[in-house]
Amino acid sequence: MAVLLTRNRFPLRAKGGGFHRRQSGGVYTWCNVTGRTKRGGRILRTCLAALVGAGATCGSLLYLLDRSVEAMVPVPRLPNHPWESQGYLKSLDHSAVRRGWQVYTTVCYSCHSLRYVRFMDLINVSHTEDEVKDIAAEFEVQDGPDDEGNYYMRPGKTTDKIPSAFPNDEAAKAANLGMYPPDLTYIIEGKRNGKNYIFAFLTGWMDPPAGITLTELQHFNVYFPGNVTGMQQVLFDGILEYDDGTPATVSQMVKDLVEFLTWTSSQEFDERKSMFIRAMGICLILLVSNAYYYRYAWSSLRSRQIAYVPKRKY
Ligand code: HEC
C-alpha cells in the first residue's frame, strides 16, 4: 500500500540495512534485497520450531506407547534383518522369488494353500511363459460341470488359481489334527513385522526348556506366540536342491521364501517402487521450478514499499 511520507522521514527509512531506494518522479520505492523482512523471518522460525517440537513430542509419545504395547505381548524381540528390498530404490530379488517358489512347492504346498495367486502371475516375475505353462499342467484342477452335470479334474492352465492340496479348509484342518495351516498369500502383510516374523518363526524351533512337557503333536517354537505350535520344523539343510545351484541351507531357504511371500502379498511391489521414483522425480522438478519462480518472480514485489511524496515548494 502506498504510504504518504514527508520528505524528512526518508533518511530514517533508508538507513535500514539492505534496502535499495529508487526514485521516479514523486514515487519512491524501497526494495529489500534479502527478500524477507526480519519480522517475517522471526515468525517463520518460531512456527517451524513449534512444529518440530510438537512433532517430536507426538512421535516420542507414540513410540513409547508402541513399546509398552509390545512389552505386553509374551513374544521375544524379533531379530531385525537387513531386507534388501526394503530400500526405497530397491526391487525384489527375482532369482530369490524363483527359489522361494521352489521351496514352497516342494515343502509347504502339502499343507499351506496359496489360493489368491494365479499361475500366470508368475510369468516374467520368476518364470518364463513356457515354464509357467509346464508348471500349471503339473497341477490337477477341478472344472465343470460338464454336459452331464459332473465336475471333473483336468490339468491346470495358466489362468487358474493355484489349487490347494486340500479340497476345503475343514479337510486341511482334519489332516493337521485340528490345526488349520493358514493360507500363505498375504501372511507377510498379515503378521506384525511380517518378514522378520516369518524368518524367525521358520528358524525358531528348539527343544522345550526343562519343566515344559509337550505332547507328540506340540512343538516348541521360541518366536511363536505362546511358544507351542502345531507345525513342526519342516526345513532342514539340504532338504532340496536348488535349480541354480545355490546351497540350500535353512536360512537361505527361509530368506528365499520370505522374498517369494513378499511378492505374493504385494504383487505390485516393483511397479509401486518405480512409480514412487517417477513421482519423486516429477515432484523434485516441480519443487525446484516452483522455488525458482517464487523467489525470482515475486520477491521484488513482496519486499517492495512504495511511497508517493508530493513535491513541496520551499
Ligand atoms: C505338515 C504340514 C505343514 C507343513 C509342511 C508346513 N506347515 Fe506351516 N503350519 C502348519 C500348521 C498345522 C500350522 C498351524 C500351527 C498352529 O496354529 O499352531 C502352520 C502354521 C504356519 C504359519 C503361521 C504361524 C503363525 O504365527 O500363526 C506359517 C507362517 C507357516 N506355517 C509357514 C510355513 C511355511 C513357510 C512352510 C514351508 C516351508 C510350512 N509352513 C510348512 C502345518 C504345516
Task: Supply the CATH number for residue 259's domain.
Answer: 1.10.760.10
Residue pair 109/165 in contact (Cβ under 8 Å)? The answer is yes
Q: Which of 106, 111, 169 to mutate to test the pocket of ligand 1 (most atoms within 8 A of CB)?
A: 111
Residue 197: inside a domain, yes or no? Answer: yes
Q: Which of 231, 235, 260 to mutate to test the pocket of ligand 1 (most atoms within 8 A of CB)?
A: 231
pLDDT digit string, tens, across residues 189-215:
999 899 999 999 999 999 999 998 898
The reply, when asked if residue 283 is annotated as ligand binding, is: no
Put residue 75 in one of left, alpha, beta given phi > 0 → left and psi -120 to 50 → alpha. beta
**Could you give the percent of the chain with pLDDT greater than 90?**
67
Q: Which residues does a 6 A CB cutoff place in the pocket of ligand 1?
A: 107-108, 110-112, 176, 179, 181-182, 187, 198, 201-202, 224, 229-231, 234-235, 257
Task: Give a yes or no: residue 179 inside a domain.
Answer: yes
The DSSP letter of residue 185 is: T
Q: Which domain holds residue 102?
A: 94-117+162-269
Mean pLDDT (10-residue bins), the chain, 314 residues: 45 53 75 61 91 96 87 78 90 95 96 95 96 96 90 94 93 91 95 94 93 90 91 94 94 96 96 95 96 85 78 68
Number of structural domains found in the chain:
1
Nearest C-alpha neighbor of 202 from the set 179, 219, 190, 218: 219
